[in-house]
Amino acid sequence: MEKNNNKKNGKNKLIDWFLLVFVLVVSGLLVAQVYLNVIEILH
């Protein structure tokens, strides 16, 4: 029972970290695009 719970917790933690990395990577790409747009408008 405890082993199962630990396994489940470990899996949930892994998903949490995956989501964090996913959001940071995608938002990083989008922020970079907006930055390029702003640079373009300033020149």
Convert residues 1-40 into a mask of x (bound to other proteins by CB under 8 A) and - (unbound).
Answer: -----------xx-xxx-xx-xx-xxx-xxxxxx-xxx-x
d(CA 25, CA 28): 5
Q: CA–CA separation, 3 vs 1, rounded Å?
A: 5
- H or E element, residue 1: none
Nearer to other proteins, 7 or 17 (CB): 17
- The least distance separating other proteins from the CB of residue 39, rounded to whole angstroms, comes to 10
Determine the Cα–Cα distance for residues 11 and 17; give it in Å rounded to an integer. 10
Using CB under 8 A as the criterion, which residues of the chain lie in contact with other proteins when the complex forms? 12-13, 15-17, 19-20, 22-23, 25-27, 29-34, 36-38, 40-41
